[in-house]
Copies of this chain bind each other. A is one copy, B any other.
C-alpha cells in the first residue's frame, strides 16, 4: 500500500469504530460526541466525515461490533435447547457487560440484526426443528431476552432506597428490586423450553445440529 502523505488515509472505519466503542462503553452514550471522538482520534471533528456519513453511521458500526461478541455459531451435535441456553446466556453476558452500548436506541432493524437473525434460524432449521415450533419460540425468546437484558441493566444502574424489613410487604417489594439474576434468567429459559416441549408432544424434540 503506497503511502502518499496528505492523501493516504491516516485512519480506517474499523479504527474509528474501535475508539468509538471504547468511549461509549466507558463513559456512556450521553457523553459521546463527534467532537470528543475526533479529539481521541487526533483529527478534527469534520475529518470523521471522510469515513462516515453521519453519527448514526458510526453507532451502527459500534453495535455491529458488539454483535460479533455473541456466541451464536452452530455446534455439531448440539440439541436445540442447549443451543438456546448457550446463545441466550452469551447474548445476555455481552449486553450486560457493554450496557452503555446495548442501551443506545435499538429501535429499528439494522443490517446487523438481520445477520444475527439469519444465523439463528439457520441453526434451528438445520437441526430439523419444525417451522410450527420455531414460529412461537422465536417471538417469545426474543421478547424475553431483550426485555430481560434491558431490565437487568436498569436494575444495575438503580440505587434503591433501603426497605423496611418489618414492612409486611417487605418480601414482595424486594422481589421487584432483585428480579433479574442468573437464577431468574435460567428459570425463564427453562420455562420456555419446557413449554415448547409440551407444545410439540408427543414429538421427543431430538432436533440436533448435524455432526458433519
A6: interface (CB < 8 Å): no
State how many angstroms separate the Cβ of A179 from the closest Cβ of chain B. Answer: 4
State how many angstroms separate the Cβ of A33 from the closest Cβ of chain B. Answer: 16
Distance in angstroms between the alpha carbons of A196 and B190 in the assembled complex:
12
Are A131 and B172 touching (Cβ within 8 A)?
A: yes
Inter-chain contacts of A191 with B (CB < 8 A): 136, 140, 191-192, 195-196, 199
Instruction: Please choose the segment from A15-23, A63-71, A150-158, A202-210 that sits at the chain B interface, where 4 or more of its residues have CB less than 8 A away.
Output: A150-158
A173: interface (CB < 8 Å): yes
> What is the interface of chain A mostly: helix, strand, loop, or mixed?
helix
Residue from the list B118, B145, B150, B187 in contact with A136, Cβ < 8 A: B187
Are A117 and B176 touching (Cβ within 8 A)?
A: yes
A107: interface (CB < 8 Å): yes
Inter-chain contacts of A138 with B (CB < 8 A): 175-176, 179
Inter-chain contacts of A125 with B (CB < 8 A): 169, 172
A-to-B contact residues, CB < 8 Å: 103, 105-109, 117-118, 121-122, 125, 131, 134-136, 138-140, 142-148, 150-151, 153-155, 157-158, 160, 169, 171-173, 175-176, 179-180, 184, 187-188, 191-192, 194-196, 198-199
A and B contact pairs by CB, cutoff 8 A, 20 listed: A107-B150, A107-B153, A108-B157, A118-B169, A121-B169, A125-B169, A125-B172, A134-B172, A135-B184, A136-B191, A138-B179, A139-B148, A139-B187, A140-B184, A142-B147, A143-B188, A144-B147, A146-B147, A146-B150, A191-B199
